[in-house]
Amino acid sequence: MQKLLIKGGKKLSGEVVISGSKNASLPIIISSLLFDDAISFENVPKVRDIYTLISLIRVLGREVDFDEEKEILKISKKNKDKYLAPYSIMKTMRAGVLVLAPLLAKFGKARVSLPGGCSIGARPVNLHLDALKKLGAKINVKSGYIDASAPKGLLGANIKFPIISVGATESTIIAAALAKGVTKIRNAAIEPEIIDLIKFLNKCGADIKYNSKRKIIIKGVKYLYPIKHRIIPDRIEAATYAIAALITNGKLLIKNVNNDHLENIFNVLKKSGAKIKTFKDSFVIFKKHQLKPFKITTKPYPGFPTDMQAQFMAMLCMADGASVLTETIFENRYMHVPELNRMGAHIETKGRTAIAHGVKKLTGAPVMATDLRASMSLVIAGLVAEGETHVSRLYHLDRGYERLEEKLQLVGADIERVGTE
């Protein structure tokens, strides 16, 4: 089994180049199933979820060529299209359920295993399925599989989500792009990754409009034309390295970013005492004094992202006082707390609220990753902890962080991967 060995206490200094967004890549690559011709994507991250998706796209009858050096992914038709997304692939990736939408829109049928992924709450797929039903799909869930059909094609509909859902919004956009008529989505998610999906589809001939009031209007078209699309930078990865700089009392230049996508995170970091200088596609971050405690509540974009909650908690373990974090998106996203407490943190949880009392030091310990972002919080804590920290179950980290130990080594961290897969 592989694990990371981290010897804490090193100030991080230098440059980090941010990879393409995993969360933007997944729905955009899945939407390639809507196309008849070859299509290519640039700035695709080399992370486990992307490789899992490549396997799934191939199973569905497409040819995939991933030039890892140039970070260009090309997808083209190979043989006869297939409609079965098996459990063997779906069990490790939540986003795989999105393939329901293009398969139904393009071919009128699909059989997709219920998904897996991180264990951070139920995250039911009912919102996806309810939206597809309103678009005219017939759906039956049995024996761990979703059987769906739309023999007469999908039809535009009015859809209002009871809660804001990134995945369900993406699914509905993809499904409605080729549907007959107009689809109106209310209470939609408007994350940068969703806007990237919309911009990509519009460049290919789709007719999709959106506004800041969470309303998306999609006029279905008959055909989409392939283009070359560049994936946006990963805002979560950028913010993660920003926190690593602060907790180690270092200074980093973080490159290949869209600062507009990071504004909500910058505002919170500045409250903690961070100094941030922004440039066209990069920023510098450092601090001059001990971190200040503060309150955070996770909310859908443009609110504070749930995908940064664990990393911020690790940082606030070293703040001068008690910080309060409230998780409103997922009901089971504090599984990193016991592991951080093993390292000397003082964190209390009650329901969806956590109180992180600042401590003077953290101590290295063997810890275990429980999900993608929680595992990164343990790495962040290990960077500042006295002694050696061992982080196991790295497959969680590898799902979303490209060349993590290499990027940290380049800015001065004492970190290495040992063991075999």
Residues forming the active site = 118
Question: Alpha-carbon distance 306 to 236, whole Å?
Answer: 10
List of long-range contacts for 54-63, beta carbons under 8 Å, 24+ apart: 55/89, 56/85, 56/89, 56/90, 56/93, 56/96, 56/99, 57/29, 57/30, 57/32, 57/33, 59/84, 59/85, 59/86, 59/89, 60/33, 60/84, 60/85, 60/99, 60/103, 62/32, 62/33
Residues 285, 274 contacting (CB under 8 angstroms): yes
Which residues are CB-contacts of 291 (< 8 A; sequence separation ≥ 6)?
246, 247, 272, 273, 315, 316, 318, 319, 320, 358
3-state secondary structure of 287: strand
Query: Which position has the token pair 């209390």?
Result: 348
Question: Alpha-carbon distance 359 to 342, whole Å?
Answer: 13
Residues 264, 301 contacting (CB under 8 angstroms): yes
**Sign of the CA dihedral running 197, 201, 203, 204:** positive
